[in-house]
């Protein structure tokens, strides 16, 4: 059995290992930490004794590869699908955005037109921009790879309200950068491949278990297929003989392998490769050019329900125009407390705040969104700052994202994966799963990325793809 070392046990490393093993290779998956899942997992909170998610992780119906991975791990049924999103609009009740039976790209039109959050003028402007996104198609968005999305908003005459109440909330949450910083093609992809492509593509999936439970089964899956998973095992360097990568160096010595699949983020990879190796592989030249954008997650525990009004309990809320972007209702925990998870993307301005200042700002937004919660205070708060949450998907970024395959000029048996590689996707679990599948296919010559969910025929006819 040919051996491949997989460095890193995040989504990309798990995806690569599973597919390598299925193709008859023996993957040896090495992960620094004592658990799998990387950035998309949970942690034991020493303060409260709880298992808490690093941050809420959302999948969409269009994420065909991460869902394929969940199927292979036997955990796809732990994703609950939410066909609607709720948009806070106080003092009125939240607006509901839900797909109708109309064919894509018009499936959201009835609910969108009913949204009281947006004026008729704003809706017309947004509709015009959507039409342009359909007409330019998937291929047309690549013309925007070197321009910020805000220029598209300017060109299509979007008003301040349209940007603040609609484009910003979606773009910041999906791309982890505001409209004036994110590459146009990354923001456009969110609308083209979910909202405009079909009702299912825009359906939001949330785990019903803690995130770690999604990835623990990978240990059994990889080992049952003939691979090995070694947790708590850091790779210190990749051994290079001037032409090929011979293996990896760990605290326990050299592990030799026919192929090395690195799935660690670019700054980590930069520490694992020597200068001669960098000189031998053009994919390693730009590692230092990747920058990061932070995300802040805040767990709040209340004695009474807070995402509730006189009509219903909300599973989540989008907060248009506010500093906090989402609230997710995590239900009651074992001690009976009501658990809310707040998410702030592109959270650069929050990184220097202490937990009580963070809690105060988030609480202000909660009381704004749900006026009935005024006066209620959390009995426990736990904030999680992820300073290096995702790479900055700024204009020009795609030109430095490396491919999985060495091509004609790289180290021939070094394969790259991770959400920062050239998957065509933003920094997401879907991008990470795609990159892992692509790297495994490059090693074995079989398999590869799972195809996209087919887009609606009317949307196709109108030019979306
Ligand atoms: C706060 C937050 C919220 C997010 N929300 C979402 C969301 O809602 N939806 C979504 O799709 N995505 C979301 N993401 C992004 C998503 O988590 C990532 O895109 C994805 O998990 C990246 O997976 P990866 O395998 O590429 O990298 P990582 O998860 O970073 O995995 C790399 C692994 O390598 C290990 N490692 C590093 N160095 C070494 C070494 N020397 N030796 C051995 N192992 C090593 C690390 O410990 C890690 O486990 C979010 C990310 C964050 C941080």
- Ligand 1: residue of 211, 229, 429 to mutate (most ligand atoms within 8 A of CB) is 429
Q: Distances in Å between the alpha carbon of 406 and those of 271, 277, 391?
A: 19, 12, 22
Q: Which pLDDT belongs to residue 245?
A: 97
CA–CA distances in Å: residue 127 to residues 140, 157, 165, 261: 18, 11, 14, 44
Indicate if ligand 1 lies below 6 Å from the C-beta of 427. Answer: yes
Residue 12: CB within 6 Å of ligand 1? yes
pLDDT for 1 equals 83
What does the pLDDT profile of the chain (465 residues) look like in tens digits? 899 999 999 999 999 999 999 999 999 999 999 999 999 999 999 999 999 999 999 999 999 999 999 999 999 999 999 999 999 999 999 999 999 999 999 999 999 999 999 999 999 999 999 999 999 999 999 999 999 999 999 999 999 999 999 999 999 999 999 999 999 999 999 999 999 999 899 999 999 999 999 999 999 999 998 999 999 999 999 999 999 999 999 999 999 999 999 999 999 999 999 999 999 999 999 999 999 999 999 999 999 999 999 999 999 999 999 999 999 999 999 999 999 999 999 999 999 999 999 999 999 999 999 999 999 999 999 999 999 999 999 999 999 999 999 988 899 999 999 999 999 999 999 999 999 999 999 999 999 999 999 999 999 999 999
Confidence at residue 409, expressed as pLDDT on a 0 to 100 scale: 87
User: Of ligand 1's atoms, which has the minimum distance to the CA of residue 33?
Assistant: 47
Residue-level length of the chain: 465
User: For the CA atoms of the chain, what is the radius of gyration?
Assistant: 22
**Both structure tokens of 195:** 């909202």
Helices (H), 116-242: 120-140, 149-155, 160-162, 168-175, 184-190, 212-215, 217-224
Nearest to 182 by CA among 191, 284, 58, 60: 191
Gap from CA of 331 to ligand 1 centroid (Å): 26
Looking at the CA of residue 8, tell me the nearest atom of ligand 1.
34
CATH number of this structure's domain 3-54+210-290+395-444: 3.50.50.60
Residues 6+ apart with CB under 8 A from 291: 391, 392, 394
Tell me the C-alpha distance between 225 and 24, whole Å: 8
CA of 39 to the centre of ligand 1 (A): 3
Q: What are the sequence ranges of the domains in the chain?
A: 3-54+210-290+395-444, 84-202, 292-391
Percentage helix, strand, coil for the chain under 3-state DSSP, each rounded to 5: 35, 25, 40
- In angstroms, the Cα distances linking 79 to 57, 74, 75, 215, 425 are 11, 11, 8, 13, 21
Class of domain 292-391: alpha beta
In whole angstroms, what separates CA 383 from the centre of its chain? 19
In this structure, are residues 60 and 204 in contact, taking their beta carbons and an 8 Å threshold? yes
Q: Do domains 3-54+210-290+395-444 and 84-202 have the same CATH topology?
A: no
Q: What is the pTM of this model?
A: 0.97
Contact between 184 and 141 under an 8 Å Cβ cutoff? The reply is yes
CATH annotation of 84-202 = 1.10.405
Cα(393) to ligand 1 centroid in Å equals 16
């Amino acid at each position: 059995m040919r051996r491949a070392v997989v460095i890193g046990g995040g989504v990309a490393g798990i995806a690569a290992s599973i597919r390598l093993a299925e193709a008859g290779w023996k993957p040896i998956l090495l992960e620094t930490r004592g658990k799998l899942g990387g950035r998309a997992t949970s942690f034991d909170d020493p303060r409260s004794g709880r298992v808490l998610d690093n941050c809420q992780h959302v999948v969409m119906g269009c994420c065909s590869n991460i869902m394929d991975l969940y199927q292979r791990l036997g955990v796809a049924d732990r994703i609950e699908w939410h066909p609607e999103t709720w948009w806070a609009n106080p003092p009125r009740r939240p607006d509901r955005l839900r797909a109708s039976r109309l064919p894509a790209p018009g499936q959201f039109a009835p609910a969108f037109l009913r949204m009281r959050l947006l004026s008729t003028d704003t809706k017309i402007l947004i509709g015009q921009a959507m039409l342009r996104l359909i007409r330019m198609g998937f291929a047309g968005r690549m013309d925007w790879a070197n321009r910020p999305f805000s220029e598209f908003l300017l060109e299509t005459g979007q008003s301040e309200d349209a940007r603040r109440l609609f484009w910003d909330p979606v773009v910041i949450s999906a791309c982890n950068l505001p409209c004036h910083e994110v590459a146009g093609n990354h923001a456009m992809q969110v609308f083209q491949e979910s909202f405009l492509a079909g009702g299912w593509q825009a359906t939001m999936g949330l785990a019903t278990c803690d995130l770690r439970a999604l990835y623990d089964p990978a240990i059994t899956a990889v080992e049952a297929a003939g691979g090995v998973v070694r947790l708590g095992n850091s790779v210190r360097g990749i051994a290079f003989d001037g032409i090929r990568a011979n293996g990896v160096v760990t605290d326990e010595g050299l592990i030799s392998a026919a192929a090395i699949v690195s799935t660690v983020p670019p700054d980590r990879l930069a520490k694992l490769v020597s200068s001669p190796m960098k000189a031998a592989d053009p994919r390693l030249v730009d590692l230092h050019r990747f920058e990061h954008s932070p995300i802040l997650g805040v767990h709040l525990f209340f004695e009474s329900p807070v995402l509730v009004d006189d009509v219903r309990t909300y599973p989540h809320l989008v907060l248009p125009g506010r500093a906090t972007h989402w609230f997710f209702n995590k239900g009651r925990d074992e001690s009976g407390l009501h658990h809310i998870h707040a998410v702030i993307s592109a959270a650069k301005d929050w990184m220097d705040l202490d937990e009580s200042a963070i809690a105060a700002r988030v609480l202000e937004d909660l009381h704004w969104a749900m006026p009935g919660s005024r006066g209620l205070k959390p009995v426990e708060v736990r904030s999680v700052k992820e300073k290096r949450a995702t790479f900055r998907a700024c204009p020009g970024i795609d030109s430095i994202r490396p491919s999985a395959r060495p091509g004609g000029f790289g180290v021939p048996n070094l394969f790259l994966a991770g959400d920062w590689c050239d998957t065509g996707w933003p920094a997401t679990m879907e991008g990470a799963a795609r990159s892992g599948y692509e790297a495994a296919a490059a090693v074995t010559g079989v398999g590869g990325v799972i195809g996209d969910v087919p887009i609606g025929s009317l949307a196709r006819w109108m030019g979306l793809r």
